[in-house]
Amino acid sequence: MSKQQAMPKRPKASPRVLGRVLKMLFGYYPVLAPIIVVCILVSAVTAALPAVFMQQVIAAIEQAQVSGTPWSEAAGEIISKVLLLAVFYMISWVAIILQMQLMAIITQGFLCKLRRTMFNKMQNLPIRYFDTHKHGDIMSHYTNDIDALRELVSQAMPSLLNSVVILISVLFVMLYYSLWMTLVLLVGVCFMVLVSKKIGGGSAKYFVRQQRAMGRAEGFVQEMMNGQKVVKVFNHEEASAADFAEINNALFEDSARAHAYANTLGPIIGNIGNILYVIMAVAGGIFLLSHVPNVGLSLLLSREGGFAVFSVSIIVPFLNMAKQFTGNVNQASQQINAVVMGMAGGSRLFEMMDEAPEADDGYVTLVNAKIDAEGNITETDERTGIWAWRHPHQADGTVTYTRLCGDVRLSEVDFSYEEGKPVLRDVSVYAEPGQKVAFVGATGAGKTTITNLINRFYDIEDGKIRYDGININKIKKSDLRRSLGIVLQDTNLFTGSVMDNIRYGRLDATDEECRAAAALVGADDFISRLPQGYDTELTGNGANLSQGQRQMIAIARAAVADPPVMIMDEATSSIDTRTEAIVQRGMDKLMEGRTVFVIAHRLSTVMNSDVIMVLDHGRIIERGNHDKLIAEKGVYYQLYTGAFELE
């Protein structure tokens, strides 16, 4: 079976990703999110007020000097303005504290809900997705990409919104007081924006590449961890280190360039702001000494004509506003990198979340049933040990029941994982209830593919698969798979006790039923000798057990499910000959009365099969029981006598 790993799509920092993040954020928190926006607006607008108060205080002092007003009278007006400013500062302080507290709740809550949504989505993805994407890259979604979104939601977006509101507020104040000074500032700001776009664009490109390179690095590390024994057995440590060094160097190059751009941007923008401050001071001095008429929104809004000429009360606050304006431009530019990284991470996440879920248009379901003396099948909520297919007929609204017997038939099935590369061609298999059907053939002949099609891990291209006379496309996938027990060559045990891992086959199974299943397959003996018996904790895919013991637990897990159809994909390949004999006796009891599909390289495990099918390059070239195939002296005979190797 040939399945190639798909190259991960290049993440794009699209503004649509930012819009989608905001939509999700406000969808998750329709009340708290707007409150945070209000808090940011309040604190940002308040940040523009000091310049207004400074102008008014300086103007009051100038007026007092010109008119000869006593200082005591001017002081009262100045103190009242300072106290009013202090009140605004208190309001801003409360808004900032509230914003920070709510932001912590929303950020972590948003990520929690997003991870849950991602995981639920992942559970609904088809097997094909996991076969064509590196697992380490998928794990990177839950680490790097989520962390990039955390930076975006918790810091970049609030800071960017705060800076933008301050810029707008300060710009309005500047336009109110002086159009000429504002124009001088905006010319310099345009230059700052061009520099930010040039440097920030290069930074964004490498930050996106950094996210992708980090996913590759994590995927490689996970691959090496899983295959560490193989690495050591073949003395591949140096070669693995060299491969990792190449991947790590690529990550270093992208990260170094991204941060080099990012670290350069701040000082450049800051110094442009300093130069602009000096230019503003010189321009203000020239306007003041030249008695240039001052024009601003105040002239349009005030009937008294506003300020006729430039004065110190205009220039001094204006310099502070210019410093504040350029500082916020710098701060906004610094958030570009976090925004780009967040959008790149979000793009990768949404690519996974937008993957088409596993299609399931089945409507035939599996139910507990009972059969009366006349053979009529009725549905029941009790566990009777009898299952039936509940088949609603949309044409007339009736419902019929078909007893689950385990009759599985593949008729002229064609299938390929990749277009133009057929894996199965014109395959027909007939497994009657209680029959044991074995598949024999070289690796890549299509044995496991047939069982994958029965499970509907993949859907066929042509032909039919019927289960108890029902097209499996009509059967709901969860019910189809509940009727099938499967034991794979690669055993997967989960973190938890031995009992938990056996009960994984049927979550409502009692402890007694789990122990009985273990005893049936011969696993009870070694489990009882474990330090805590069935309560022994397993970690790292059962690393504290032998391969054979892990496989026996997996077989017990299938036994407790008690399905009418069993699939044994090299189920005893990891067990030694003596243990295999013990397990085989238990498996024989387990397989009694069930339809069983067996995939095996050891022909001794398939000799007692009712039907043995020999596959070669996706076709069935021989079929029959052991004696018949031996008598024909074909490929099976050569395999059995050792005249021909499977591979």
Mean pLDDT of 562-576: 78
Phi, psi of 47 (to 5 degrees): -65, -20
Pick from 28-42, 214-228, 377-391 the range whose average pLDDT is largest. 28-42
Mean pLDDT of 44-70: 71
CATH superfamily of 15-353: ABC transporter type 1, transmembrane domain (1.20.1560.10)
CATH architecture entry for 408-641: 3-Layer(aba) Sandwich (3.40)
Name which of 508, 395, 178 is nearest 170 in CA terms: 178
Mean of the per-residue pLDDT values of the chain: 81
Percent of the chain's residues with pLDDT above 70: 87
Mean pLDDT of 183-196: 80
Largest CA distance in the chain: 127
Tokens 């029902």 label which residue? 470
Name which of 356, 355, 363, 451 is nearest 410 in CA terms: 451
Q: What's the pLDDT tens digit per position in 585-609? A: 767 777 777 888 988 777 777 888 8
Q: Is the predicted pLDDT of residue 52 greater than 80, yes or no?
A: no
Least confident window among 95-109, 120-134, 568-582: 568-582
d(CA 393, CA 595): 27
pLDDT of residue 97: 92
Mean pLDDT of 166-180: 84
Mean pLDDT of 253-274: 75
Q: Is the predicted pLDDT of residue 80 greater than 80, yes or no?
A: no
* Proportion of the chain in helix, strand, coil states, percent, rounded to 5: 60, 15, 25
d(CA 61, CA 59): 5
Q: Is the predicted pLDDT of residue 7 greater than 50, yes or no?
A: no
Count the Cβ atoms, other than its own, within 10 Å of residue 67.
9
CB contact at 8 A, 452 and 127: yes
Q: Is the predicted pLDDT of residue 372 greater than 50, yes or no?
A: yes
Sheet holding 484-487, edge to edge: 484-487, 565-569, 595-599, 436-441, 611-616, 619-624
Q: What's the pLDDT tens digit per position in 452-485? A: 899 888 888 899 999 999 999 999 998 998 888 8
Kindly report the pTM of this predicted structure.
0.71
Beta bridge partners of 462: 414
Residue 172 host element (H or E): helix 157-177
Beta bridge partners of 409: 430, 466
Tokens 């300086």 label which residue? 58
Count the Cβ atoms, other than its own, within 10 Å of residue 120.
10
Q: Is the predicted pLDDT of residue 77 greater than 60, yes or no?
A: yes
pLDDT of residue 71: 63
Crossing angle of the two packed helices 71-123 and 15-28, in degrees rounded to 10: 90
Name which of 158, 166, 161, 160 is nearest 46 in CA terms: 166
Strand locations in 404-501 (E) = 408-415, 424-431, 436-441, 462-467, 470-471, 484-487, 496-497
* Burial letters 142-162, b for 16+ CB under 10 A, else e: eebbbebbbbbbbbbbbbbbb
CB contact at 8 A, 434 and 594: yes
Q: Is the predicted pLDDT of residue 8 greater than 80, yes or no?
A: no
CB contact at 8 A, 430 and 409: yes
The alpha carbon dihedral of 78, 79, 80, 81 has a sign of: positive
pLDDT of residue 3: 44
Higher pLDDT, 114 or 203: 114
Q: Is the predicted pLDDT of residue 192 greater than 80, yes or no?
A: no
Q: Tokens standing for 482?
A: 């509940």
Mean pLDDT of 10-22: 73
Count the Cβ atoms, other than its own, within 10 Å of residue 323.
16
Helices (H), 510-611: 511-520, 524-528, 547-561, 577-591
3-state secondary structure of 476: coil
3-state secondary structure of 345: helix
Q: Is the predicted pLDDT of residue 32 greater than 70, yes or no?
A: yes
Mean pLDDT of 240-245: 84
537-538 vs 496-497, strand pairing mode: antiparallel
pLDDT of residue 268: 76
d(CA 104, CA 114): 15
pLDDT band of residue 64 (cuts 50, 70, 90) is: low
The count of C-alpha atoms lying within 13 angstroms of the C-alpha of 161, restricted to the half-sphere facing its C-beta, is 17
CATH 1.20.1560.10: which residues of the chain? Answer: 15-353
Q: Is residue 274 exposed (0-12), middle (13-18) or buried (19+ Cβ within 10 Å)?
A: exposed
Residue 392 host element (H or E): strand 387-392
Q: For the chain, what's the residue count?
A: 647
Q: What's the pLDDT tens digit per position in 379-417? A: 888 887 788 999 998 778 888 999 888 899 999 999 988
CATH 3.40.50.300: which residues of the chain? Answer: 408-641
pLDDT of residue 408: 92
Percent of the chain's residues with pLDDT above 90: 9
Q: Is the predicted pLDDT of residue 612 greater than 80, yes or no?
A: yes
